[in-house]
Structures are given as structure tokens and as C-alpha cells.
């Protein structure tokens, strides 16, 4: 341990909080990876040809069916193991994929599976005539998605996305198994030095609680700021609204 000779609780807590930035980077990175991969998958599953829908279904089925812990090991030793060996042979020297990268890829690609279903539901909740109307105005299929469907689907998806954030945040606590020095890895180091289980795990719980709260709150703000006037609340309709039957 880096400071065994002069261990103090102050140092321990500073050390743990430094791991928080790694956790945050992991979450932001994997949420964005999940968004960038999950969004096209959702669009493909709703509007794509049969083979594309089948492939997305297969992807989702794979990632949803396996525990995150197993996926982390599979990616690290399996896929990245092969990548390391392959790159090593090409470059003629030993190549190591950092645990952070392996963790981010695993969490991001797993989240993509879940997020694709969030966005699929959001797209399907929209009035589909809008897509047709966009095509009738001369939009390409991609243009109709980008300018009409996705701006609305993303808004609808925010509450479910907040859910996915809180789940992913807690899944990230497993990253320590690959040696990513995030919150949980550092907590466990401190526990093994001090043998004080409860105080450090309480601290871990508090940090995760704070991160969850901040993220959810930020997303709630985003939801309110992007709300479409007249839509999105149970008592919808500002003024002369008569949604024709």
C-alpha cells in the first residue's frame, strides 16, 4: 500500500475519494458508450430490416442473460486477452490492456443492451405518423430519425435512463475484480489493512448514495428543462387543447 508507513484515517479517506473520480469516469464513459451503441441499435430494431432486428435481439439476449461479474472476466481474459496477444505479435512486444479500459468496455457494451431497450420503448411510445410525415416532406429515413424521432425519444427516455444510471453506478463497484482502482477497490484495501469492515463499508455506501443522488437530480433537472409544453405531465394540455379522438 502506498502509505503503509504513515497510515492515518485522513490519508485513507483522501485515498478513497481519489477513487471516486475513477468511478465517475467509468460511469460517464460507459453511459455514453451505451448511448452511442444503444441508440442506433434501438433505431435498427424499430425501423431496420429483419436481419438487423435479429442481430440486435441476439446482442441484447447475450448481455442481459449473463451476470456482470462473468462478463467482466469474459471480456478481460477472453476478448482482451486475444487482443493483447494479437497486438503483441504485431508490435513484437508485450501489450497490456489497462483494466480501466476493459471495465469501461464491458460496462458500456452491457449498458448498450439495456439502453437499446429503453430507447426502443421510447421510440415506440411516439406517434409514428410523425415519421411518415417527415418522409412525406422529403426527409431521408436517417434525417427523419435525427430531426423528428430521436429528439423526442431521448426526452421520453430520461426517467428510464436515470434508472439505468443508478444501476450501472452500482455495477461499477464490481470493477475492482479486474484491478480498476475505483472506490470499491480502495475500500477493500483499507479494510484489509485495518480490519475495520463496518466503518469502511458504511463510507462506501455513503459515497455511492451521494453519487446516485447527484446523478438522478441532474437528470431530473434535464427532464424538466427539456419538457415539451403541453406534454409530459398527467394533467397535460396548456390551454385550448382538445386532442382529437
Partner 1 sequence: MTGRPEGSPPGAAGPPLMEARNITKILGGKLILDDVSLSLNRGEFKVLIGPSGSGKSTLLQCVHFLLIPDGGDVLLEGASAVEMGHKNVCAFRREIGMIFQDFNLFDHLTARDNVAIALRKVKKVPKAAAMARAMGELERVGLADKAGLYPAQLSGGQKQRVSIARAMAMEPKLMLLDEPTSALDPELIGEVLNVIANLARGGMTMLMVTHQIGFARHLVNEINFMEDGRIIERGHPEALLADPASRTATFCSRLSELTGNQ
Instruction: Identify the residue among 21, 136, 192, 194 touching partner 1 (CB under 8 A).
Output: 136
Residues 154-193 that bind partner 1 (CB under 8 A): 155
245 binds partner 1 (CB under 8 A): yes
Burial 129-160 (b: 16+ CB within 10 A, else e): eebeebeeeebeeeebbeebbbebbbbbbbeb
Q: Between 98 and 151, name the residue whose CB sits nearer to partner 1.
A: 151
139 binds partner 1 (CB under 8 A): yes
Q: Between 93 and 127, name the residue whose CB sits nearer to partner 1.
A: 127
**CB 176, CB 182: distance < 8 Å:** yes
**CB 104, CB 33: distance < 8 Å:** yes
What span, in angstroms and rounded, lies between the C-alpha atoms of 8 and 152? 52
What span, in angstroms and rounded, lies between the C-alpha atoms of 147 and 158? 18
Place of cell 426502443: 120
- Contact range with partner 1 by CB under 8 A, out of 80-88, 113-121, 204-212, 228-236: 228-236
124 binds partner 1 (CB under 8 A): no
Q: Between 96 and 237, name the residue whose CB sits nearer to partner 1.
A: 237
Q: Between 67 and 237, name the residue whose CB sits nearer to partner 1.
A: 237
Of the candidates 153, 98, 97, 147, which has an alpha carbon nearest to the alpha carbon of residue 124?
153
The least distance separating partner 1 from the CB of residue 241, rounded to whole angstroms, comes to 6
User: How remote is the C-alpha of 237 from its chain's centroid?
Assistant: 33
The least distance separating partner 1 from the CB of residue 144, rounded to whole angstroms, comes to 10
**CB 35, CB 115: distance < 8 Å:** yes
Instruction: Identify the residue among 4, 8, 198, 241 touching partner 1 (CB under 8 A).
Output: 241
Where does this chain bind partner 1 (CB under 8 A)? 126-127, 129-130, 132-140, 143, 147-148, 151-152, 155, 228-231, 236-245
Amino acid at each position: 500500500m502506498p502509505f503503509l508507513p504513515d497510515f492515518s484515517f485522513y490519508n485513507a479517506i483522501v485515498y478513497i475519494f481519489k477513487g471516486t473520480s475513477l468511478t465517475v469516469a467509468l460511469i460517464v464513459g460507459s453511459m455514453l458508450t451505451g448511448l452511442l451503441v444503444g441508440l442506433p441499435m434501438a433505431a435498427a430494431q424499430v425501423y431496420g430490416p429483419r436481419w438487423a432486428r435479429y442481430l440486435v435481439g441476439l446482442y441484447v439476449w447475450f448481455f442481459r442473460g449473463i451476470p456482470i461479474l462473468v462478463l467482466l472476466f469474459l471480456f478481460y481474459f477472453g476478448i482482451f486477452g486475444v487482443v493483447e496477444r494479437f497486438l503483441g505479435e504485431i508490435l513484437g512486444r508485450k501489450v497490456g490492456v489497462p483494466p480501466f479500459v476493459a471495465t469501461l468496455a464491458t460496462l458500456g457494451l452491457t449498458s448498450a443492451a439495456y439502453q437499446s431497450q429503453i430507447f426502443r420503448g421510447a421510440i415506440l411510445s411516439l406517434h409514428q405518423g410523425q415519421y411518415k410525415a417527415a418522409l412525406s416532406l422529403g426527409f431521408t429515413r436517417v434525417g427523419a430519425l435525427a430531426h423528428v424521432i430521436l429528439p423526442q425519444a431521448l426526452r421520453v427516455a430520461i426517467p428510464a435512463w436515470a434508472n439505468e444510471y443508478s444501476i450501472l453506478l452500482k455495477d461499477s463497484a464490481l470493477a475492482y475484480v479486474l484491478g480498476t482502482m475505483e472506490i470499491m477497490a480502495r475500500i477493500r484495501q483499507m479494510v484489509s489493512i485495518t480490519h475495520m469492515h463496518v466503518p469502511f463499508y458504511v463510507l462506501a455506501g455513503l459515497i455511492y448514495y451521494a453519487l446516485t443522488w447527484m446523478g438522478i437530480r441532474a437528470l431530473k433537472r434535464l427532464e424538466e428543462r427539456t419538457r415539451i409544453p403541453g406534454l409530459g405531465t398527467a394533467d397535460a394540455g396548456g390551454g385550448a387543447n382538445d386532442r382529437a379522438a
